[in-house]
Structure 1
Amino acid sequence: MSSEQEYWLSGPIPDVPALLQPAAHALLQSVREIKKYVSDFPEDKLWEKPYGRASAGFHLRHITGVLDRMLSYAEKKALTAEQFNFLKNEGNGENAPSSEKLIHDFEEKVNEALEYFKNTPESILTEERFVGRKKLPSTVIGLLFHAAEHSQRHVGQLLVTVSVLKNR
């Protein structure tokens, strides 16, 4: 597969159920695009907020955190104190890891998600799951799809943020 070809055009990902292929493709596409957009981005601009908008560092941290939380909800797990702490600090640039580490963390979380997908029978995808303290209703497939589309949305925002800051 060419690095320019989008994942959704590359055929099925082995062992991922058919109904989860679009989510898997979107997550893998997110990893590829993040690496491309941030490859030569200056570290000193990682937490800069252009025009009061979210920083590149926030986007990188946030998509990892959201994916982690959606996987927990899909597994019927309550969020841990560590996850709440991560959420609280997603936008905090103090003592934050490098962009390389943030990208690595997201890629690791995507790999974890793909393993979860491979071990998820399609028969449970419509099972009800609940989100957050308010126990808002969703389904397994709803959570997994949201994690994927949410990542893609933030990758788009990351591209704009990086482009603005590089060209200032």
Structure 2
Amino acid sequence: MKDQNIKSEKPQQKPEVWLRGPVQGIPNLLQPAAHALLQAGEDMHSYADNFPKELLWRKPAGRASVGFHLQHLTGVLDRMLTYARKENLSDLQFKHLKKEGAENPEISTIQLLQDFDTKVSEALQYFKTVDADTLTEERSVGRKKMPSTHLGLLFHAAEHSQRHIGQMLVTISILKERS
């Protein structure tokens, strides 16, 4: 019989981010978005930290590559923050948008992960500056000025990140099984 006082060799897993309490400095109404972005970052690292560079641009069954998901996650978050600040996209942002998913052997998985981490940090810093009274204000998206709200953009940034993390996990699983 095992000694009840001996701790398990297995490391303790933290609860999901949303169960760890509020993120300091973030308005209450933005807590779910902050939690989702932080969870996306943790999940991304747990799935992709040791992902082989030679598989980064493979597209199983014609689906998006892991490289695309990593670039796109960062790009969308950057664009949603721009629209949330009532700004237009810059020429540099359009240049990055056109390159999302284009195979680039110069880029490493580590760099793509770091880019997302940086953008999540920027998003959380932005969240800390948001006046909750502005969350229902109208915002427009893209050249066509599609209607949204301040909250809508920040929520979309978070849920979109979660969606792509899920897709990326499936792609990683398929590619690892095949290699």
Same fold (TM over 0.5): yes
TM bracket, shorter-chain basis: over 0.9
* 2:57 equivalent to 1:47: yes
- Could you tell me which residue of structure 1 aligns to residue 94 of structure 2? 84
Uncovered stretches (5+) of structure 2, i.e. residues with no partner: 1-11
* 2:75 equivalent to 1:73: no
- Could you tell me which residue of structure 1 aligns to residue 7 of structure 2? none
Kindly state the Cα deviation for residue 59 of structure 1 after the two structures are TM-superposed.
0.2
Q: In 1, distance between residues paired with 2:176 and 2:14? A: 22
Could you tell me which of 108, 128, 133 is aligned with 1:123?
133
Could you tell me which of 144, 147, 151 is aligned with 1:137?
147
Deviations 1:39-97 (A, max 9, x none): 22111000000000000000000010000000000001000010001110011112441
Which residue identity does 2:159 align to in structure 1?
E
Q: In 2, distance between residues paired with 1:3 and 1:87? A: 36
Where has structure 1 moved over 4 Å in runs of 4 or more? none
Q: In 1, distance between residues paired with 2:103 and 2:37? A: 24
* 2:40 equivalent to 1:30: yes
The residue matched to 2:148 in structure 1 has which SS?
Answer: strand
Which residue identity does 1:111 align to in structure 2?
S
- Percent identity between matched residues is 59
* 2:159 equivalent to 1:149: yes
Q: TM-score, normalising length from structure 1? A: 0.97
Q: In 1, distance between residues paired with 2:111 and 2:13? A: 22
- Judging changes above 3 Å, is the alpha-carbon distance between structure 1 residues 164 and 70 closer, same or farther for their aligned structure 2 residues? same
- Could you tell me which residue of structure 2 aligns to residue 103 of structure 1? 113
- Alignment RMSD: 0.9
